[in-house]
């Protein structure tokens, strides 16, 4: 059974940085892509960033130049480095594993506030 566990969320001031990570219970190299999504209160879940097995990346316009996604196939982990954080980045961040079907983690809270 596939399990995804996020970690690294927390409270940070505007302009600060935070790194969230995702650990998978299976070999991620067999999946087409991994990604991050987020859901703010009262809003729909939205795409943040994704990375394919070959290392190609894709970002939402709202985070381009500020967020960096990475993956380590040997450790079955993925990370999202978030810099220059804004209040509007506040959300629960979910790890996604995309293959024949999608798998989701339980989410980690990121709060950007002064």
Task: Tell me the mean pLDDT per 10 residues along the chain, length 114.
Answer: 94 98 91 94 96 94 98 95 98 94 96 97
Using one digit for the tens of pLDDT, what is the confidence trace for 61-88? 999 999 999 999 999 999 999 999 999 9
- Count of CB atoms situated within 10 Å of the CB of 34: 27
Closest CA to 33 of 65, 73, 5, 3: 73
3-state secondary structure of 39: strand
């Amino acid at each position: 059974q596939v399990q995804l566990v996020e970690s690294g969320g927390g409270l940070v001031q505007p302009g600060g940085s935070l790194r969230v990570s995702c650990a998978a219970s299976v070999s991620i190299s067999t999946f087409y892509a991994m990604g991050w999504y987020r859901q703010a209160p009262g809003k729909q879940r939205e795409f943040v960033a994704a990375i394919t097995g070959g290392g190609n990346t894709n970002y939402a316009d709202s985070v381009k130049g500020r967020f960096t996604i990475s993956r380590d196939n040997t450790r079955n982990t993925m990370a999202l480095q978030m810099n220059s954080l804004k209040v509007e980045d506040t959300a629960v961040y979910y790890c996604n594993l995309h293959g024949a079907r999608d798998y989701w983690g339980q989410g980690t809270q990121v709060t950007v506030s002064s």
